[in-house]
Structure 1
């Protein structure tokens, strides 16, 4: 049982290492002008950047239901599953407001694909009311298409 828990706890790390190694070895795939195994990466980048911008707005508006709506039906944020995302984001918004950082900004640094999923690596910044960065970090999101739009399938802070 302990070995199973240890292996499961390493899964996010393994995914991150795999994605980062792919991004390093496949630089050509990250070019926004390219078609990546049938996915128009220029259009995909626009859609992801629009989704990320809307996600920031939903956070700023303290709309945890809208935040949860950005995830695929089987999507997760870390170990939090879809059914619990609205509640979890509500708590995170409450905590961010208490810390004086009611706004979050996301920046996509790289985006690549295997033809089915998109993998986004980016930077997040929590901002205070004066738009000053108070904390920051990196994230990795695996996106998948669901009902004709890109939805977050796996969302992991790095």
Structure 2
């Protein structure tokens, strides 16, 4: 008894492998989620305000740049000392924001920035009351996808 299996020629096999690869790639591209990419920076300033008036009080500025390919909405901004810390100084109300701040919630189109201005002395006082002396704080922004984006730390 002689069993002979015919696998066809090599070109048919490579064609089948290519077809399976193309279907797998197209399924992966169709089902992947777009990545949410939000860049948050925290800086301090003194002097010229949003409307070009001068002011001697220091302020903190949170700039959040939407690097995603789709619009995102800022749902909450605030301050924390660690990404895993549950104690946060959350700002979800417009009355705590300084002149020149965007609204909360704020829709941010791709490659646009939302800006939030705070009185630095008030934020540092609240941070020291919440977490103690000699701390470093970071800003955070939470979008409507419930993802939280953080800035680098600054000394409070």
TM-score interval w.r.t. the shorter chain?
under 0.3
TM-score of the pair, normalised by structure 2: 0.26
TM-score of the pair, normalised by structure 1: 0.26
Structure with more helix by fraction:
1
Higher relative CO (Cα under 8 Å, sequence separation at least 6) belongs to 2
Select the structure of larger CA radius of gyration: 2
